[in-house]
Chain A
Amino acid sequence: MKFGVVVFPGSNCDEDLIYCLQKNTKQEVVKLWHKDHDLQGCDMVFLPGGFSYGDYLRSGAIARFSPIMQNVIAFANAGGYVMGICNGFQILCEAGLLPGALLRNTDMKFTCANVYIKATTSSLITSALDTSKALKIPIAHGEGRYYADDITLNSLIANDQILFKYCDADGNISNESNPNGSLQNIAGITNSARNVFGMMPHPERAALPELFNIDGLGLFQSIIQQAQQEA
């Protein structure tokens, strides 16, 4: 499997993600420059965290129109795997590849902290995860409050598109364990075709023993396992 990580001006989690993917999957990982139009034959494209285009206007609003995104959108619409983490999730929502939007955190704070999430459905990125286990994964965002109108939210639920929910260390989903005011504690979703994934927490910051937390490793293992099954 070949992975591509898009680099926008203002991306700041691209190197972490590339290192994490290389260490954990032993696959080829290439950088995709935002001004290019070539996905270099990647099997899966990642949009990393950061502050693309300085978060001007709205997080992800300008990045969504960058040259490479036109190819990423076409790739996703043709069934290609695309995953956005943090700012990448915001970009995917702005691009319309994922439904809903990410609003300013209810408490107005930029929150940088370890939180707990748990997988709530099986997908390319969650198949190897135990849905009963809470994973400790860091978040670092000011605009992570997931919002969608009632019709969209109901269809997300009906189609089992919610990937992760914020919870406490024991896996209980409650208001207290919701760090940003997201509807239904939503931390990550997939599209109806289940090939586009977005999440606010950073699994790439919790997938190396050197960082004393490998709770995020399962996501990358899921991708590799699924890819091997499909091959």
Chain B
Amino acid sequence: MKYKASIQIMPQAALLDPQGKAVTHGLQQMGYLNIDSVRVGKNITLEIEANSEDEAKSAVEESCKKLLANMIMETYSYSLTLL
């Protein structure tokens, strides 16, 4: 079976995200004064050949922990869909 994972990687909540801060300022300068706390992360999609959803999940988690996210500074979440 083939699954598609959509992985979201975000800077850890406690860490300053200068990129998000700069975007917040940009939006506010455009007049969107009701917008605040922008944080910029990454979205990664990938496809996995696996025998079960559990197998696909463990492949995604392992990839996130080993390479796609740096757990010292980032967090990850994902959703899986069967293709």
Contacts and interface: CB of A to CB of B under 8 A. Distances in A.
B72 interface: yes
Interface in A88-116: 93-94, 100-101, 103-108
A181 B67 CA distance: 25
B73 A106 contact: no
Given A61-B67, A65-B67, A106 B16 contact: yes
A147 interface: yes
A108 B22 CA distance: 8
B18 A105 contact: yes
A230 interface: no
B18 A94 contact: no
Contacts of B72: 93, 100-101, 147-149
Most buried by B among A57, A149, A181: A57
A59 to B, nearest CB: 10
B18 A108 contact: yes
A104 B22 CA distance: 12
Interface string B1-43: 0000000000100011011001000000000000000000000
A58 interface: yes
**Interface band, chain B:** 10 to 19
Interface residues of A, number: 18
B75 interface: no
A104 B70 contact: no
Contacts of B15: 103, 147
B68 interface: yes
Contacts of B68: 57
A105 B70 CA distance: 17
Contacts, number: 30
A104 B67 contact: no
A82 to B, nearest CB: 20
Contacts of A181: 16
A69 to B, nearest CB: 13
B70 A101 contact: yes
A147 B73 contact: yes
B39 to A, nearest CB: 12
A61 B42 CA distance: 15
B11 to A, nearest CB: 8
A94 B35 CA distance: 34
Contact of A108 (B19, B67, B70): B19
Interface string A33-63: 0000000000000000000000001100100
A70 B4 CA distance: 30
Nearest to A106: B18
Most buried by B among A61, A93, A103: A103
Interface string A124-166: 0000000000000000000000011100000000000000000
12 contacts: A57-B67, A58-B70, A61-B67, A100-B72, A101-B70, A103-B11, A106-B18, A108-B18, A108-B19, A147-B73, A149-B72, A181-B16
